[in-house]
Amino acid sequence: MNPLTPVWDLPSIRPRGGELLPTVDMDVIPPQVERARRTLWAGLLVFRWVSFAWFAANAILSELTFRYGPLPWIALALTGAWTLWLSLPPENQERPQAPWIDLLIGVGLIVVSGLVVPPGEVIGDTPFFAVSYPVSAALLWGAARGPGGGIAAGAVLSVALVASRPINDIPLQDLSHGQIFGLMNGAIFYLAAGAATGVFSLMFTRWAEQFRSLAEAAIHASEKDARLAARESMGRAIHDSVLQSLALIHKRARELGEDPTVPGSQVLELADMAREQEQALRALIMREPEEPPAGAASLRDRMEAIVRSVQRMPVTLSAVGPIWLSAAHVETIAAAVEQALDNVVRHSGATQAVVFADIEDSWVIVSVRDNGRGFTYDERDLQESGRAGLLKSMKGRVEDLGGRMRVKTAPGIGTEVEFRVPYDQAEVSSGGGSGE
Amino acid sequence: MSEPVEGVDHDVEQQPEADRIRVMVVDDHPVWRDGLKADLERMGAAIVVSEAADGGEAIDRARDAMPEVILMDLRLPIVDGVEATRRIVEESPHVQVLVVSASGEEADVLEAVKAGAAGYLLKSATAEEITDAVRRIHAGEPVFTPSLAGLVLAEFRRVAGKEPNEPVLTARENEILKLVAKGYSYREIAGKLFISVKTVQNHVQNILTKLQLRRRYELMRYAIHKGLDRAPEPEP
C-alpha cells in the first residue's frame, strides 16, 4: 500500500503559522541545560567546602601530631584561600587555569599528607591529613573536560596517593594485602569521581546539542509556516479580486456562447481563455508546495497541466494523491493521455471528459473517460479516420513501460481508455509513493 | 448581458413560489451572490430566502430564514465556510449544504464535506448544473464531482488499516467511489453494476457518513494524544 502519513497530521487542527515554537538563539546554551549545569557546579562547590571543613577540623583536632612545623598550616591556609577564590564567584571554577591549579593543590595535599603525618601512620589510625579534599580536583576536571579529563585527573591523584606511602616511610613492598586493597580503593575512588562528573558534563553537552537541533528544526518549521501563511494571504487577496471575476466572466461567457442569437465561437473562445487563466492562477497560488522525493515528478500535477491545456471541452482531473513517479514515466504517461484527450476532442462528440489517476495494487492507473458517442471496434473504420495509428501509438507507449492499455466502449455509452503501468518500476525510490 | 427575459420565461416552466426550494447563498462577493441568485430564480426551481457575506452571518441568518439548501463558499472573511458548515449542520441537521467553491480549494472542500456538507460544485458550473445540483441535494442525493471523489479516496487510504474501529470503505463503496472519480453518473454506475440508482445513492451517502465519522475519530485521537481526555493533573 501507499506510505501513510502520521495519524496526528491533521490539517484541520494544525496550529497557525509561526506560533509553533519561539525562535532560539543558536549560540546560547538552552536555559534548561544551563540550569542543570549550574546545579552540578554548585554541587561541586558544596562538596569542596564540606571537604575543606572536615580537613580543617581534622587538622586542628590533631594539631600536636603533625610534623614539619608550619607546613600543614600553610597547606591548610592555601587550600582555604583557593576554595574561597573558586567560590567568589562560583564561575571562577570554569576559568581555564582552575583545573590545573586545583590538580596541583590536590597532588600537593596528598604529598604533604605523606610528609606531615607521623611516619608509618598514613595508613594507621591517624586520619589522612588532606582527607577527601583532593577528590575535588578529579570532580572539577570531569565537569570541565568530560569523562577523559576526569579520569586523567583521577589517575594523577592516584599516582600521588601511591607515592604518598614511600614519602610516609612505608616502602611499597612492605604493604600488606589489606593496605594494597585500601590504596586501590582510594585510586578507584579518584577515578570514579572524575568519571562521574565527566559523564554528567558530557550529558549536558549532548543535551544542549539536542536542544539546539530541535530548536533549529523548529525555526525551520516556523519559517516554512510563515512562507505558507504569506502565500495563503496572497492567495486570499487574489482570490477575492481577480479569481472571482474571472470565474464570473467564464460562466457568463459560456452562457452567452450557448445563446443562438450571439455569435458563439468568439464568446466561447473568451470563456476558454478566462477559464484557462483562472485555473493557471489558482494552481499557482492555492496549492501548498509539496516536497517531492529526489528525481520524482507528480503525475497529478502533470495531468493537471494537460487537463488545463485542453480547449473547447471541460476536462476534470481526479487524482488519489500526488502520485510521485520517475520523471520519465510521468512524461510517457502524459504523452499517452494527451493523445487520448486529443482523440476525445476530435472524434468523440463528448461534452466533457474526466482524467482519473490512481495507484492501486502496485499499478499506476490512469483513465480517460468521455461521455461521447463511443464506437464499435471496426478496423477499417478506425484506419480510415486515422485512429488506428493513434491507438497503436498510445498502446506502444504504455507497453514500453511494461504496462497495458484497455479500451472500454460501445455506441452511446462513451469511451474509457485505461492505462496501467507497474508501480514498482515507475517509482523513484522506496520512499516515494502517493502519500499525501 | 442583454438576455431577452421573455424568452427565458417561455423556456423555463416557473413553479409556484411555495413549491420552490428555499435557498440561502453564502459568499463574500456581492456580484457573485447576485449572479447566483439571478440564475437560481431564473431557472424557477429555487427561491433565495437569505444571503450572507460571512460564515458568522450565515449561521445567524440560517436560524431565521430556515433555508432548505445552503450554497456555501469556503473562503469567507471572518468565520470560514468549513466552520460555518459544521455549526449550521450541527444546529439543523436537515439543512443540506452544497459547497460552491473555486477549483484549487479541494483540501478545504474535503474538510467541508467532513464537517457535514452534502455536495460540492465548482463555481464555473452553469446555471443548469447549479439548479440541477440544488434539486438533487434537496432530494437527499449527495452531489459529488469526480475530483471530490478522488480526494475522498485518498482520504480513506491515508490512514487505512491503522485503527481497528475506524470506518473504512467496503469493496463495493470503493468500487462506486472510483467510478464516480472516473466521471460516471449514478445512473451509469447503476447500469454497470446491475443495481438501482437508489442503491448507488445509498452507497454514496454511506461513504459521506463514514467520512464525517472519520473526522470525529480524528478529533478523538487528537484529544487522546494531547491528553485532553484526562482531567488536568493537580498542581504539585
Note whether A95 and A239 are same-domain residues.
yes
Q: Per the domain annotation, does B234 fall within a domain?
A: no
Q: Per the domain annotation, does A180 fall within a domain?
A: yes
Q: Per the domain annotation, does A119 fall within a domain?
A: yes
Note whether B22 and B117 are same-domain residues.
yes
How confident is the model at residue A230, as a pLDDT? 72
Closest to A275 (Cβ–Cβ): which among B124, B146, B160?
A: B124
Note whether A44 and A154 are same-domain residues.
yes
Residue where one domain finishes, among candidates A266, A289, A312: A289
- For A64, other C-beta atoms within 10 Å of its C-beta total 5
Q: Per the domain annotation, does B69 fall within a domain?
A: yes
* Distances A389 to A26, A156, A380, A397 between C-alpha atoms, Å: 64, 90, 12, 12
Q: Is the confidence at residue A175, as pLDDT, over 80?
A: no
Note whether A30 and A167 are same-domain residues.
yes
Q: Per the domain annotation, does A145 fall within a domain?
A: yes
Closest to B103 (Cβ–Cβ): which among A261, A282, A367?
A: A282
Report the CATH number at residue B106: 3.40.50.2300
Q: Is the confidence at residue B9, as pLDDT, over 50?
A: no
Residue where one domain finishes, among candidates B143, B176, B202: B143
Proportion of chain A in helix, strand, coil states, percent, rounded to 5: 65, 10, 25
Note whether A269 and A369 are same-domain residues.
no
Note whether A250 and A182 are same-domain residues.
yes
Express each pLDDT in A197-236 by its tens digit: 888 888 888 888 887 788 777 777 777 777 777 777 666 6
Q: Per the domain annotation, does B33 fall within a domain?
A: yes
For CA atoms B203, B209, B212, B217, the dihedral sign is: negative
pLDDT tier at A16, thresholds 50, 70, 90 = very low
Q: Per the domain annotation, does B202 fall within a domain?
A: yes
Yes or no, beta carbons of B188 and A413 under 8 Å apart: yes
Q: Per the domain annotation, does A214 fall within a domain?
A: yes
Residue A317 grid coordinates: 482531473
Of residues B143 and A384, which shows the higher confidence score?
Answer: B143
pLDDT tier at A351, thresholds 50, 70, 90 = confident
Alpha helices in A117-176 (DSSP H): 135-167
CA distance A185 to B211: 70
Tally of domains in chain A: 2
Q: Per the domain annotation, does B155 fall within a domain?
A: yes
For CA atoms A60, A63, A66, A68, the dihedral sign is: positive
Q: Is the confidence at residue A20, as pLDDT, over 60?
A: no
Note whether B120 and B157 are same-domain residues.
no
pLDDT tier at A14, thresholds 50, 70, 90 = very low
Note whether B86 and B180 are same-domain residues.
no
Residue where one domain finishes, among candidates B143, B159, B183: B143
Note whether B17 and B48 are same-domain residues.
yes
Percent of chain A with pLDDT over 90: 8
Note whether A174 and A36 are same-domain residues.
yes
**Does B1 lie at the interface with A, CB-CB under 8 angstroms?**
yes
Note whether A365 and A408 are same-domain residues.
yes
Cell 416557473, located at residue = B14
Q: Per the domain annotation, does B79 fall within a domain?
A: yes
Note whether B89 and B165 are same-domain residues.
no
ipTM comes to 0.75
Q: Is the confidence at residue A11, as pLDDT, over 60?
A: no
Q: Per the domain annotation, does A7 fall within a domain?
A: no
How confident is the model at residue A355, as a pLDDT? 94
Tally of domains in chain B: 2
Of residues A192 and B77, which shows the higher confidence score?
Answer: A192
Contacting B residues, span 11-30, partner chain A, CB-CB under 8 Å: 28-29
Chain A residue with CA closest to B125: the answer is: A251
Note whether B68 and B174 are same-domain residues.
no
Of residues B16 and A298, which shows the higher confidence score?
Answer: A298
Yes or no, beta carbons of B146 and A436 under 8 Å apart: no
Note whether A255 and A235 are same-domain residues.
yes
Note whether A307 and A285 are same-domain residues.
no
- Alpha carbon A325 to chain centroid distance? 25
Domain containing residue B59: 5-143
Cell 579529563, located at residue = A149
Q: How many residue pairs bridge chain A and chain B with CB atoms within 8 Å of each other?
A: 133
pLDDT tier at B2, thresholds 50, 70, 90 = very low
Residue where one domain finishes, among candidates A247, A264, A289: A289
Of residues A408 and A178, which shows the higher confidence score?
Answer: A408
Note whether A116 and A139 are same-domain residues.
yes
pLDDT tier at A63, thresholds 50, 70, 90 = low
**Does B153 lie at the interface with A, CB-CB under 8 angstroms?**
yes
Helix axes B197-225, B171-181, angle to 10 degrees: 100
How confident is the model at residue B178, as a pLDDT? 93
Nearest-CA distance B104 → chain A (Å): 6
Q: Which of A248, A251, A416 to mutate to test the interface with B (most CBs of B within 10 A)?
A: A251
For residue A97, report the phi and psi dihedrals to the nearest 5 degrees: -80, -15
Taking contacts as CB-CB distances below 8 angstroms, the residues of chain B near A315 are none
3-state secondary structure of A433: strand
Residue A433 grid coordinates: 509513493
Looking at residues A313-329, what average pLDDT do you find? 87
For residue A216, report the phi and psi dihedrals to the nearest 5 degrees: -60, -45
Q: Per the domain annotation, does B162 fall within a domain?
A: yes
Helix axes A177-238, A264-286, angle to 10 degrees: 160
Of residues B85 and A74, which shows the higher confidence score?
Answer: B85
Q: Is the confidence at residue B103, as pLDDT, over 70?
A: no
Q: Per the domain annotation, does A2 fall within a domain?
A: no
CA distance A285 to A84: 67
Q: Per the domain annotation, does A9 fall within a domain?
A: no
Residue where one domain finishes, among candidates A289, A312, A335: A289
Yes or no, beta carbons of A255 and B126 under 8 Å apart: yes
Residue-by-residue DSSP string for A328-360: HHHHHHHHHHHHHHHHIIIII--S-EEEEEEEE
Note whether B124 and B62 are same-domain residues.
yes
Domain containing residue A43: 15-289
- For B7, other C-beta atoms within 10 Å of its C-beta total 11
Closest to A369 (Cβ–Cβ): which among B107, B125, B183?
A: B183
Q: Which of A5, A9, A12 to mutate to test the interface with B (most CBs of B within 10 A)?
A: A12
Detail the DSSP E strand segments found in A179-302.
Answer: 296-298
Q: Per the domain annotation, does B231 fall within a domain?
A: no
Yes or no, beta carbons of A369 and B150 under 8 Å apart: no
Note whether A144 and A168 are same-domain residues.
yes
pLDDT tier at B77, thresholds 50, 70, 90 = confident
* Distances A276 to A5, A257, A337, A356, B75 between C-alpha atoms, Å: 33, 16, 19, 20, 21
3-state secondary structure of A179: helix
Residue A204 grid coordinates: 549536558
CA distance B204 to B181: 12
Taking contacts as CB-CB distances below 8 angstroms, the residues of chain A near B26 are none
Note whether A193 and A234 are same-domain residues.
yes
Residue where one domain finishes, among candidates B123, B143, B163: B143
Q: Per the domain annotation, does A152 fall within a domain?
A: yes
Report the CATH number at residue A400: 3.30.565.10
CA distance B161 to B174: 14
CA distance A112 to A103: 14
